[in-house]
């Protein structure tokens, strides 16, 4: 009655956090500040409400499974602008499918692209450790073996591709890579991306690039895998990239994103969605179309994140291994004991943060590498963020 692989999944990090903190009393007399969840609280543009209202009559129609043509055209235009892609490198008909938030698409990829066996053995799904939890959920739901790759700080928090054995590559069916990375905010450079795309082709696995933080950065825009594929000049074989409006446009509740990439993979993905997908309702599809065509709010939002990271630098200085992340909106702070710090911050500062070990899988024979860390989602306004950071500096 149950896929026994799923028994290996721990409770979801936010459930574990509730179990840890709910029995405790947050510091009395202080407003609660939740920095545990990566849920952007920046204002989103009025066009969201306007477009939803103008299209409300379309709730009476089933939406198309790949997303409307207008949405996919807006996405292709955005990709072309953002990544300077030559005309025709991606087109709406063959390369793009809309998803109702990228989580479901990332998860579904594991179900679609996991064969019964690879190289005569159970297929492997590779991912960095720590990682976005959906990757492991997908791998285990697909009855594959997740492989959690270390991401040491002195290796720019990226998995060491040279440390992966030939036997592992031969059995690999999927590799999830997040750039900019949640939680460390690191970005893969052109050499790294070129290597991993090459490895996907040599060993015939699907490289899933989770680029949902692509529009939030402190200095240089993160490189996209599509740009690297463009420069390699060998098409999009073995590559899928995910993008989301949740972080870019601060609309996590809209549930709107897309996947772009290898037409052969996209057509399998779209076929599976015909059976089991839940396409975005047309008013949401129309709103997503308008958002991908609008940049002002993205620039403003990015600026607000940059101000908050500057503030964090002022308040935290060089404590807790602070560094300004290159991308994304998290602080990944080395506080020695993440669980202990999360409890103290809740009890003494009413600030809710996520212990790093809840995002990090246990690997046999090794200490959980997330234990020293806490993750802070810098998603609030400047004032609230400043207040939280000052409390954190004081309590820790
Ligand atoms: C790394 C990463 N990927 C994907 C997602 C999913 O985002 P959504 O389903 O809102 O598009 C998140 C959300 O927190 C994330 O942090």
- Tens-place pLDDT, residues 216-225: 999 999 999 9
Pairing between strand 257-261 and 96-99?
antiparallel
pLDDT < 50: residue spans in the chain: none
Query: Which CATH number applies to 48-294?
Result: 3.40.640.10
Out of 212, 214, 378, give the residue to mutate to test ligand 1, the one with the largest number of ligand atoms within 8 Å of its CB: 212
Domain boundaries, the chain: 4-43+297-395, 48-294
List all residues 6 or more positions away from 164 whose beta carbon is below 8 Å from its beta carbon. 126, 149
For residue 1, the model assigns a pLDDT of: 82
Pocket test for ligand 1, best of 151, 182, 329 (most atoms within 8 A of CB): 182
Among residues 216, 222, 229, the alpha carbon closest in space to that of 261 is found at 229
pLDDT > 90: what percent of the chain? 98
Supply the residue whose CA is at minimum distance from atom 2 of ligand 1: 132
Pick the CATH number of 4-43+297-395 from 3.90.1150.10, 3.30.470.20, 3.40.50.620, 3.90.660.10: 3.90.1150.10
Expressed in angstroms and rounded, the spacing between residue 155 Cα and the centre of ligand 1 is 24
DSSP type of residue 206: E
pLDDT in tens, 246-256: 999 999 999 99
> pLDDT tens, 296-324?
999 999 999 999 999 999 999 999 999 99
pTM above threshold 0.95: yes
- 35: closest CA among 348, 337, 332? 332
With a CB cutoff of 8 Å and minimum separation 6, the contacts of 172 are: 118, 123, 124, 125, 126, 147, 203, 205
Cis geometry, peptide bond prior to residue 180 (ω within 30 degrees of 0): yes
Q: Which of 36, 75, 103 to mutate to test the pocket of ligand 1 (most atoms within 8 A of CB)?
A: 103
CA-based end-to-end distance of the chain: 46
For position 304, what pLDDT does the model report?
98
359-381 pLDDT, tens digit each: 999 998 899 999 999 999 999 99
Q: How far is the CA of 12 from the centre of ligand 1 (A)?
A: 14
The first and second tokens of residue 182, run together, are: 């949640």
Question: Cα(117)–Cα(230) distance, rounded to whole angstroms?
Answer: 32
Burial class (CB in 10 A: 0-12, 13-18, 19+), 274: exposed
Contact 25, 347 (CB under 8 A): yes
């Amino acid at each position: 009655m149950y896929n026994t692989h799923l028994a290996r999944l721990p409770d979801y990090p936010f459930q574990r956090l509730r179990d840890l903190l709910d029995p405790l009393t947050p510091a009395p007399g202080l407003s609660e500040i939740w920095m545990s969840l990566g849920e952007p609280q920046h204002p989103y543009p009025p066009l969201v409400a306007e477009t939803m209202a103008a299209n409300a009559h379309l709730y009476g129609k089933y939406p198309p499974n790949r997303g409307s043509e207008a949405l996919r055209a807006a996405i292709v235009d955005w990709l072309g602008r953002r990544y300077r892609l030559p005309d025709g490198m991606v087109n709406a008909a063959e390369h793009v499918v809309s998803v109702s938030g990228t989580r479901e698409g990332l998860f579904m990829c594991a179900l679609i692209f996991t064969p019964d066996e690879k190289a005569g053995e159970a297929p492997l799904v590779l991912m960095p450790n720590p990682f976005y939890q959906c990757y492991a959920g997908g791998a285990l739901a697909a009855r594959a073996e997740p492989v959690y790759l270390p991401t040491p700080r002195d290796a720019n928090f990226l998995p060491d591709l040279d440390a992966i054995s030939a036997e592992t590559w031969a059995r690999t069916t999927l590799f999830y890579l997040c750039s900019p990375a949640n939680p460390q905010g690191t970005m893969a450079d052109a050499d790294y991306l070129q290597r991993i795309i090459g490895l996907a082709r040599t060993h015939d696995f699907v490289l899933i690039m989770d680029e949902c933080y692509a529009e939030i950065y402190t200095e240089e825009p993160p490189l996209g895998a599509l740009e690297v594929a463009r420069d390699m000049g060998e098409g999009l074989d073995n590559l899928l990239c995910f993008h989301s409006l949740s972080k870019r446009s601060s609309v996590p509740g809209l549930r709107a994103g897309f996947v772009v990439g290898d037409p052969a993979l996209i057509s399998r993905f779209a076929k599976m969605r015909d059976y089991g997908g839940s396409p975005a309702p047309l008013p949401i599809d129309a709103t997503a179309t308008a958002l991908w065509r609008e940049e002002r709010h993205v620039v403003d939002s990015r600026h607000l994140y940059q101000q908050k990271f500057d503030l964090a630098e002022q308040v935290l200085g060089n404590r807790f291994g602070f560094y300004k992340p290159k991308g994304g909106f998290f602080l990944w702070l080395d506080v020695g004991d993440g669980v202990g710090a999360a409890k103290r911050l809740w009890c003494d500062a009413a600030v809710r943060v996520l212990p790093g070990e809840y995002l990090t899988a246990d690997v046999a024979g090794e200490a959980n590498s997330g234990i020293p860390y806490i993750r802070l989602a810098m998603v609030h306004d400047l004032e609230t963020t400043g207040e939280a950071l000052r409390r954190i500096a004081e309590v820790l």
